[in-house]
Amino acid sequence: MAVASGEVSPEGELALAVDLRQVDLAELWPLLPEEWRGRAGAGEVRGRLRFHGRVEGSLADPAVSGWFGVAEAAWRDRTFERAEGYLRWQRPRLELEQVAILHGSSAYRLEGELLFEAAGPVARLTGEVERGEIADLLRLAGVSWDLKGEAYGQVALHGPLSAPALEGKVSVAKGRVAGQDFRRAEIQFKGRGREILLDSFTIESPLGSGYGSGTIQGEELAIDLRIEQVQLAAFPQLAASLGRAAGTVEFTGRLSGTLKDPHLGGEVKAQSLVLGPYLLDRAAGPVEYRGGRLYLTGLRLQRGQEEYTLNGELALQPDPAFEVKVEFRRARLSELLKIADQRPPAGVEALCDGTAWLTGRASHPRVRVNLLAAEGRRGEGDLTAALAMEMEGERVSLERFLVVQKGGGSLSARGTWSTAGALDLSVAAESFAVESVLRMWDPAFPLEGKLSGQARITGSAVSPCLEGSFDLEDGRMGEVPFQRAEGTVRLAEGAVELEGLQVAADGQLLQVEGRIPLPPALAERLSVAAGAAATPVDLTVSLPRGSLKILNLAWGRQAIQEGRGALNLRLIGPWDEVGVYGAFQFEQLSLSAPPFTVAEGEGRLLFRGHQVVIERASAQVNEGTAAGRGILTLRGLAVQEVDLYLQAEDLHYSDSFLDGLIDADLSLRGPANLPLLQGRVQLARTTLNLGGHLGGGHSPLDAALDVELTNADDVRIVGGESVDVRAYGRLKIGGTLREPTLAGRAEATRGVIVYLGTVFRVSEGSAVFTSLHGINPQLEVKAQARAEDALIGLRISGQVPELDLQLSSDPPLSEEEILERLALTGRISRLLRGGEAGEVTGQEMLSLLDEEIRGTVFKGLEHAVRDVLQLDEFRLERGFAEEQVQMQFGKYLVDDLYVTYSRSLNLEKPDESLRFEYRLKPGVVFTSGFDSRGEVWLGLEGKLRF
């Protein structure tokens, strides 16, 4: 419908107000010149037009202006819900202002002009995309891409409407391109027709951030691209190919091909990567992606000094396929074997050069490895190894395995095995250091030697069968060498069969033959099933009469120094109830078992199934004699019960706590884990060190104790530099070896205690032990020391270690006066007060300082002289009254007679004295002596207790 009002002059001048409603554009479009319509490339134009404005000018050249609105419009195959704005038309120009185009959630604003020239319409339009679909904008430029997203920005359209030039700057949010999502993109572009020049673009996606520029010609891409912070975890197909992928990658390269089939090629750089089972420091090299496949051409992966170079391709699909060649340099063996899902034996490591091929699919891979391992170490030797192996599924084919040692020994193997079961390997050794093999499973195993021989291993990994012969030369078991060991070994069904096993050492031959089940501990280290418990032992061990030193091989150290004898044993029965039959006889046996040294040992042991009968055994032990007899009851090869009788006479025992001679008459009976040690022990010429520990530490064995302890003469008790006391007594030892108790009483006969730098002589003392207090006694000790004008007394009493020390004096002095006379600072103070005019002579001061020097220097000298001269006492002391040093010797001439000799070190006029102390009975001592001044004395000292 059209409504017009106004004036039309006879000359054709127009001044009309026009109101058009529901005008069909399809009816108006044919009114335009045909050449315009064809060159506009508009295709079908339709819509319902509404116009409100004016028509002015002349009929020949009218001017139209006003507001228009178009509903359900279509142009260039695009539909719009609504378009409205202001226009002005006067041939040949159509001006547009404040035009808004709306379609769904999209909104565009447009301004500019169209020039309808003879060659066709020409556009000069600028627009703002308030919100829109990026695909719609591309279609306006005649481009159809797989690009989606919400766009906003500015766009300019100019040039012939049939092929306009398009340029602008657009941002796209929450989009998708070529099947990949992105969070945000910014594009600055120019384009005409199907060609678009990308001045710059940035894109942010879960894969990383990309930057670039380039051209798009229709579907063809030519874009320079840089991508940062690419997350490998965002490629699930890559993770499926490798098992695991993590880390970030930078990419610089070119995007070519088409949007539907893009090609991406360039250089990658990365640090701290995880690819499958590998942790890598860095990666760099060319990569290419096209057609769903990733191509590697010299990609280098590094970790420390290790270097891997990858060439090949991976098809990124649900069951990824790959064909990759890996060249490695200085790769660690443990890392390299991860390719084949294998591990080297515990503790084995090497640096390897070589090549690995990975082919097949992730569900059924095939791995082939060819390597040379150098600088490998195991045990004591350098190793070089060559390996060629192939793994497909659960089957591993070992084409070649050769280990060459630095000394020339070699070990080779070939064959197949399966992780599911079957084994078929052939192994050969020639002068190979056996410790390099054995210590793979047990680094502490002490066997060494040059191994030659052959073996074949069949069966399965958990139940292998082995048969082979060996010859081990120049061997050593721990500290014990042997010349040769040879024989045949068979392993089947968890049992080991030894045939003709002979060991030669020191001109003697040890023979072992028979069958034993594989010990569970060894089976666990070898990762095989142990022999059934019902598999019987049937083993014979024989040693013809001769040297017994070969038996040192049993415990790997030189315990037996000398000895001759014979050994014939047969072990038969189930492993946990095995019976031992035979005999062991020895003579002239010398062995070292600290703290004991055994010489001239002889004896005979009979093995009667589950009992070992010691018919006789005697020896010189620590310069004394010892003998024993009895029965040991066995279960398997472990001792369960003991019934032994032991005797010792003048046996010298020495450790950090006790040094003396022992006479003993003891029995040891009961279960082996806690038997009862019962009888008597007498000590002679014994010194007890209060700072030491009996046995030098905790006993590895334990036993209940019921032992009577006496001493044949006074026991000397020393405690560092402070205690040196003689005592006698009778004690009962109870408890256990690990937690002993003492009961009884010990009396001090004489001795000294150093307290506050002063030597106190013991006048009487006692120690009372009760089992309730373990080994800590109740002490009561009295001692005296002379300090200038007084006799100082020291009393020690109480339960060890909570002791009470009290000082007294004759004549009576206060505690401060007593301490002043004992302490060095007190003497200096008195000396300063007593000096003339407050001055102290150098000699007086030196005499005081000399006492302190004696405490640090003379003590070591005293101990050295006492030990060399075999004295009971040797002291260097400075008297209080005279500035001189005196020397004192003391020694027991017989058990009850003690002699003391003293002499001053004054070369001009030495003072000497000789003193005798004879103990008539406990508590009564007769004393006598004389000195160089002509004084002679006799005395009788008695000690009463009430």
pLDDT for 253: 93
Three-class SS of residue 318? coil
Q: What is the rounded CA–CA span in Å between residue 730 and residue 752? A: 22
Residue 242 has pLDDT above 50, yes or no: yes
**Rounded mean pLDDT of 683-710?**
74
Residue 609 has pLDDT above 50, yes or no: yes
What mean pLDDT value characterizes the chain? 81
Residue 413 has pLDDT above 90, yes or no: yes
Residue 655 has pLDDT above 80, yes or no: no
Contact in structure between 482 and 495 (CB atoms under 8 Å): no
- Which range is least confidently modeled, 399-403, 559-563, 768-772, 786-790? 786-790
Phi/psi of residue 233, nearest 5 degrees: -65, -15
Residue 834 has pLDDT above 70, yes or no: no
Contact in structure between 473 and 448 (CB atoms under 8 Å): no
The 3-state secondary structure of 612-655 reads EEEEEEEEEECCEEEEEEEEEEEECCEEEEEEEEEEEEEEEEEC
pLDDT for 525: 63
pLDDT in tens, 910-919: 778 888 777 7
Pairing of strands 381-392, 165-177: unpaired
Residue 844 has pLDDT above 50, yes or no: no
pLDDT in tens, 468-522: 999 999 999 988 999 999 999 998 877 889 999 999 998 899 999 999 887 676 6
Confidence grade of residue 339 (pLDDT, cut at 50, 70, 90)? low
pLDDT for 759: 80
pLDDT for 824: 47
Q: What is the rounded CA–CA span in Å between residue 275 and residue 926? A: 94
CA-closest candidate to residue 421, choices 454, 401, 442, 393: 393
HSE-up (13 A, CA, CB side) for residue 543: 25
Contact in structure between 107 and 130 (CB atoms under 8 Å): yes
Residue 860 has pLDDT above 60, yes or no: no
**Rounded mean pLDDT of 111-132?**
86
Residue 144 has pLDDT above 60, yes or no: yes
Residue 333 has pLDDT above 80, yes or no: no
Higher pLDDT among residues 907 and 807, named by residue = 807
| CA distances, 808 to each of 141, 262, 815, 849 (Å) | 120, 107, 8, 26
Contact in structure between 583 and 607 (CB atoms under 8 Å): yes
CA-based R_g, the chain, Å: 54
Residue 159 has pLDDT above 90, yes or no: no
Q: What is the DSSP letter of 528?
A: S
**Rounded mean pLDDT of 404-432?**
86
Please give the helix or strand (H or E) that residue 216 lies within, else none: strand 208-217
Confidence grade of residue 189 (pLDDT, cut at 50, 70, 90)? confident
**Rounded mean pLDDT of 431-448?**
77
Higher pLDDT among residues 488 and 140, named by residue = 488
pLDDT for 49: 87
pLDDT in tens, 728-763: 888 898 988 888 888 998 888 878 888 877 788 888
Residue 422 has pLDDT above 90, yes or no: no
Residues 6 or more apart from 116 whose CB is under 8 A from it? Answer: 32, 36, 91, 92, 93, 94
**Rounded mean pLDDT of 88-93?**
88
pLDDT for 412: 92
Higher pLDDT among residues 233 and 77, named by residue = 233
Range with the largest mean pLDDT of 306-310, 528-532, 746-750: 306-310
pLDDT in tens, 358-396: 898 878 888 888 888 765 554 444 678 888 888 887 788
Higher pLDDT among residues 521 and 150, named by residue = 150
**Rounded mean pLDDT of 8-22?**
87
Residue 442 has pLDDT above 80, yes or no: no
Residue 702 has pLDDT above 50, yes or no: yes
Residue 283 has pLDDT above 50, yes or no: yes
Residue 58 has pLDDT above 80, yes or no: yes
Higher pLDDT among residues 900 and 602, named by residue = 602
* % of residues, the chain, pLDDT over 70: 80
Residue 451 has pLDDT above 60, yes or no: yes
Strands laid side by side in the 885-894 sheet: 873-878, 885-894, 897-904, 912-921, 924-931, 936-942
- Which range is least confidently modeled, 129-138, 598-607, 840-849, 927-936? 840-849
Adjacent-strand bridge partners of 67: 52, 86
pLDDT for 119: 76
Three-class SS of residue 259? coil
- Which range is least confidently modeled, 142-156, 525-539, 632-646, 778-792? 525-539
Residue 74 has pLDDT above 80, yes or no: no
Q: What is the rounded CA–CA span in Å between residue 538 and residue 266? A: 72
pLDDT for 243: 66
pLDDT for 690: 67
* % of residues, the chain, pLDDT over 90: 25
Residue 624 has pLDDT above 80, yes or no: yes
pLDDT for 839: 45
Residue 340 has pLDDT above 70, yes or no: no
pLDDT for 700: 58
